[in-house]
Structure 1
């Protein structure tokens, strides 16, 4: 994806900041649509095509979190960066749980935002081109990567995009140590405390999804990462 063709949806209720960011990003070659509240941003998203969303968390009519949730129902892959004046870890964890690609806290330098946008853009072709099997057998489970579904017996559960990315990541690297730092950088582009907490939440959920097969486990390796233990004889790709 080339930068000069990338269209950004910018939802920001502080119009002074919004215009400043729009002007700056347009000088960097981006096409930016500025919306002053969440409802207008949602209408714009349904009416136009965008490649990336910059969403202020605190907005009238519809906040950034609920806006992101609506956007994800239409496009599960579009990158989302949250902009917020709050630095509460609960907010950051909620954002990452919704599948946010990054998070930036006001006040910030425009170049910092540009760096984050570029980092997200660089990850897009990497994830799109990653070699993923359509269906992976994991013990008694069948994991359909493209459909984001886990099946055991007659029961099928649909999981989220981020859960699917994480499960696919550890399934490919099964039965060997997966370094936490490398996993965070590969899946989110960086390694920090809040992303680490979010990863722990996702791992806990995936453990619950796989609990029907006692031969499978996600083992914590102290200060290193994880091992996804699956009996080799039960794995097919």
Structure 2
């Protein structure tokens, strides 16, 4: 599965290192540039899916870099990373970029902004290609945050529940072997683990009751199938 490639243009070494490590841990492929000139060169050579660009940088500032990018590419999503707080700077930035986040920012907020922007801007990229995010009918399942969200309900999941739902989501509309799931998540398919698994299956079915187009069904003698987008 192809990773989503992000271009990070940031001249502060510590911040760049932390952001790069966090995004890579969440499944993104990160290309880093330390200034605007390098950013332009790496944009041309790597063709990223999206860009995170600081404004105040040596060689070429973020505004100039984004203007150059927009001269040749109107579609690649861009988020400004900025310590500048003036409304004029925000307005100027949004003339070319899709979003901005003010320093200091939380890594959690940055992740959410990236994911939301990619969901809007890359409709042809399957939802599961956004690391840890799955679209299940009207539900959004965020594996990394262990959350299952629906317009009528937000459900926090245990790690075991999240691991199980991830396996089902990765094989949506296909049969997931009960034996393989037991061995992978519990380490053994003995009777005690099997009964334990039945409890978690019941919990997941309860969480999915808000959307009748999403069902976790038994496949006799084999396992389970997470059926999505097929109305009753």
Gaps spanning 5+ residues in structure 1: where? 129-237
Which residue in 2 is equivalent to 1:35? 33
1:74 shift after superposition: 2.0
1:73 shift after superposition: 1.7
Say whether residues 1:108 and 2:101 are aligned partners: no
Q: Which residue, out of 10, 13, 21, partners 2:8? A: 10
Which residue in 1 is equivalent to 2:18? 20
Q: Is the 8 A contact 1:11 1:35 kept in 2?
A: yes
SS at match of 1:5: coil
Question: Over the residues paired in the alignment, what is the CA RMSD in angstroms?
Answer: 1.7
Q: Is the 8 A contact 1:19 1:34 kept in 2?
A: no
1:126 shift after superposition: 4.7
Summarize deviations over 1:124-161 as a string: whole Å, max 9, x none.
24599xxxxxxxxxxxxxxxxxxxxxxxxxxxxxxxxx
Q: 1:74 to 1:125 in 2, by over 3 A?
A: same
* Structure 1 stretches of 4+ moved >2 Å: 125-128
Q: Which residue, out of 52, 74, 77, partners 1:76? A: 74
**TM-score under structure 1 normalisation?**
0.51
Number of residue pairs the alignment of both structures matches: 125
**CA distance in 2 between partners of 1:55 and 1:13 (Å):** 10
Q: 1:125 to 1:14 in 2, by over 3 A?
A: closer
Which residue in 1 is equivalent to 2:121? 124
**TM-score under structure 2 normalisation?**
0.52
Q: Is the 8 A contact 1:57 1:64 kept in 2?
A: yes
1:125-140 correspondence runs (5 A): 125-126=122-123
**CA distance in 2 between partners of 1:74 and 1:111 (Å):** 31
SS at match of 2:115: helix
Gaps spanning 5+ residues in structure 2: where? 126-232
